Amino acid sequence: MSVFVGDAQADRVVPPTGFTARLTLFAAGAMAFLTVFALALSLASGRLAVRWGDELAQSSTLRISAPSEQLQAQTILALRVLESTPGIASARALSAEEQRGLLAPWFGPDLPVETLPIPQLVEILETEEGYDAAGLRLRLAAEVPGAVLDDHARWREPLERAAGRLRLLGWVSIALIGATTAAMITLAANAALAANAQVISVLRLIGAQDGYIARAFVRRFTVRAFLGAAIGTFLGAGAIYLLPEAQDEAGFLTGLGFVGAGWFLPVLIPPIAGFVAYAATGAAARRTLRGLS
């Protein structure tokens, strides 16, 4: 905290302006702006993974394809098999209306489902424990030859994996942005220290300890990085807020953005940027001061 409170008189020993000030402000601001997006991406992909998992987990679909005169009999048979299978909470055949609704996005609302050779779909809801999919397939193959069980695993797993990778990519991006911020602030601090060799020489001449000299530089860079990051975060969060919301038609995507308490996460970016600058400048100052005779 003393970094921010500081010592007004001590702060003045380092000349106030120069390109390093602008570089630090710009670098911290730009990196914070990018961090907001990486954070939003990461959180959105996390939500996506949860949503895909929730929507597809613990449900399965049975598809019964049979000649129209056998379709109802096979459906009844399949429902009996399902009702007697451990791990299945409920099973119900979708009505013609529901099946029409599922096909409507592709064929329009007036599709005469009854006249088309469309398979009968049965929605299966699992218990917490779930059922033995391999065993159920064997029973269905024996008793309802036209039934195909889709337990959604082949959809869910790659989608969840992709969402997980996307989330990981977001965090890796944030780590890279943090490292780049540290590198750029270190460069700026080194340049400032080199440009102020005369100031350092005078301060040493009059009895300033290296810790005092380092703190004067560290405080300045920390405050600049904090302010730059605050501006970048504000602009980034504003840009996210102004993004168009995901429409119902694109409901599969949750949209890039923050939800609820997630909006508070960007608030952490400026202090973290300040800490990164504090650590990077401190290391640079100690190294430079050790090297100066």
Partner 1 sequence: MIELDNIAYSYGGGELLSEISLKLAPGSFHFLTGPSGSGKTTFLKLCYGALVPTAGTVQLFGKDVRDMDRDDHAMARRRIGVVHQDCQFLDHLPLRENVSLPLTVSGRDSLEQNTNLKELLHWVGLGNRASALPPELSGGERQRAALARAVIMSPEVVLADEPTGNVDWEMSQRLLQLLVELNRMGKTIVIATHDMNLIRSAKNHVQTRVLRISNRKLQLAGADL
Quick check: 3 binds partner 1 (CB under 8 A)? no
CA torsion sign for 13, 15, 17, 18 is negative
Quick check: 205 binds partner 1 (CB under 8 A)? yes
In which element (H, E) is residue 121 found? Answer: strand 120-126
In eight-state DSSP terms, residue 125 is E
Quick check: 238 binds partner 1 (CB under 8 A)? no
Give the footprint of partner 1 on residues 253-292 (CB under 8 A). Answer: 289
212 vs 234, which CB is nearer to partner 1?
A: 212
133 vs 289, which CB is nearer to partner 1?
A: 289
Quick check: 92 binds partner 1 (CB under 8 A)? no
Q: Which of 207, 244, 260, 291 binds partner 1 (CB under 8 A)?
A: 207
CB atoms near residue 98 (< 10 Å): 13
Q: Which of 211, 214, 226, 208 is nearest to 189 (CA)?
A: 214
- Site track for partner 1 across 170-199, x = CB under 8 A: ----------------------------xx
Candidate segments 4-12, 54-62, 152-160, 182-190, binder of partner 1 by CB under 8 A = 4-12
What is the SS3 assignment for 3?
A: helix
Burial class (CB in 10 A: 0-12, 13-18, 19+), 6: middle
Largest CA distance in the chain: 103
22 vs 165, which CB is nearer to partner 1?
A: 22
Count the alpha carbons within 13 Å of 12 in the hemisphere toward its beta carbon.
2
Q: Which of 12, 80, 92, 161 binds partner 1 (CB under 8 A)?
A: 12
Footprint of partner 1 on this chain (CB under 8 A)?
A: 9-10, 12-13, 15-16, 198-199, 201-212, 289
